Each structure stands twice: as structure tokens, then as C-alpha cells.
Amino acid sequence: MTAPPPPPPAPPGRPMRADARRNYERLVQVATEAFLEHGADASLDDIAKRAGVGPGTLYRHFPVRQDLIDAVLQRWMASVLTEAEPLRVAADPVEALGMWLRRLVAHVQVFRGLSSALIPPEDKFKESSPAWVLHRTSEELLARAQESGEIRSDIDIKELMTLVSGVTWACDRGKEIDADRLIDLIMDGLRVRDRPDRPPVAGA
């Protein structure tokens, strides 16, 4: 499993006092460990206790669970987006899309039980949240692949993310799931079958 990146940046808003900043970072670190151990439903009260703060301190920093999940996932965004940069300009956009989907599943698998939290319904996106960033990156790579003419134009990003979310959900619950094979099957289903510039298949 990939080691977590450095501590998260300061949350948006006015600068925090040193003690508040320490509490924030400690809560994110403990939440990271708790989510790795127990999934996205880990007890918030237990996280506060393990961080050495009261529940009120946790809720001042993170009013709802999703805020804490987003802060934890934000620690992964820099490395995820760094991996995406060369894919945005790859010579083969279809291969780039497949590579991105595999990496996306691998990143989501880091946290057991976070597949639905990371790829929620589009109407629940909070702009700039980790889920929103991954969704928009996926949308850009899908569009490039479709422009190549190799990927069906009738597939939209919501449908693709639903399929990917299904793979992550299955991986959360099955030890013998081959995620790469499932992504291969998705990519196969996305490909255009009857491009006019292709020669007919022999024997067809």
C-alpha cells in the first residue's frame, strides 16, 4: 500500500492559531488511520478521542463527516493529479483513459469503504472536493478518447463513473476481485465496433 503523502495543507479560510492547526492536522492523521482500519464509517467520537481532543473540536473543524473524508482524501490529490498530467497529453488517449481508470480504482481502494464517498451522485458534488477533482479529470480524459474516434460518443461521464464506482464497490467486498480485468471489460465495452474506416473482419 502506498504510504500517505505529507500532512495536508491548511484548510481554506483565515489563518489558524498554532494550537488549532495542530488539532486539525492531528484529526486528519488519525482519521486517515481510522478509515484505513474501519472504512468511511469509522466512529467520529473515536477519532476525536484518539486525536486527544473533544468531539466539539472535531465538529468545529469538520461539521459533517464528508468534510473530514474530503480533508483525508485531499492528502492524496497531489499525487493523483501528478500521475494524471502526462495522461492528458498522451499520444494514445484511449490507452491513457484505461491507465487512468486503473489508477483511479487503485487510489479508491486505499480506503476500504470509500468508493461511494469518493464518487457520489453528481448533484452531491462540492466544487473542488476530491470527488469533484477526480470526476472532472476523468471527464477530460474521456472526452480526449472520444475525440480519437475509438471510444463511443454516446457514453457520458456519469455512466463511466457509475461503472468505475461499481468496480471499487466490488473490490471493497471481494478479496479475489481482479480490478484490472474489470477495467479491461469496461474499456472493451467503450470501444467503437463499426468504424467505417476499418476493414471488415475476415469471415464476418
Please give the pLDDT value at position 18.
85
User: Could you give the number of structural domains in the chain?
Assistant: 2
Please give the pLDDT value at position 45.
95
55: CATH? 1.10.10.60
Same structural domain for residues 39 and 73?
no
Same structural domain for residues 131 and 76?
yes
Average pLDDT, stretch 49-58? Answer: 95
Same structural domain for residues 148 and 175?
yes
With helix as H, strand as E and coil as C, how does the chain read?
A: CCCCCCCCCCCCCCCCCHHHHHHHHHHHHHHHHHHHHHCCCCCHHHHHHHHCCCHHHHHHHCCCHHHHHHHHHHHHHHHHHHHHHHHHCCCCHHHHHHHHHHHHHHHHHCCCCCHHHHCCCHHHCCCCCHHHHHHHHHHHHHHHHHHCCCECCCCCHHHHHHHHHHHHHHHHHCCCCCHHHHHHHHHHHHECCCCCCCCCCCCC
Same structural domain for residues 34 and 132?
no
Binned at pLDDT 50, 70 and 90, residue 4 comes out as very low
pLDDT digits (tens, 9 = 90+) for 88-125: 999 999 999 999 999 888 877 776 666 666 666 666 66
**Could you tell me if residue 110 is inside a domain?**
yes
Same structural domain for residues 83 and 169?
yes
Same structural domain for residues 150 and 183?
yes
159: CATH? 1.10.357.10
Same structural domain for residues 58 and 78?
no
Domain span at residue 130 reads 69-190
pLDDT digits (tens, 9 = 90+) for 118-158: 666 666 667 767 778 888 899 999 999 999 999 999 999 99
Q: Look at 147 and 195; give whichever has higher pLDDT.
A: 147
What's the mean per-residue pLDDT of the chain?
Answer: 82
Same structural domain for residues 108 and 142?
yes
**Could you tell me if residue 199 is inside a domain?**
no
Same structural domain for residues 33 and 117?
no
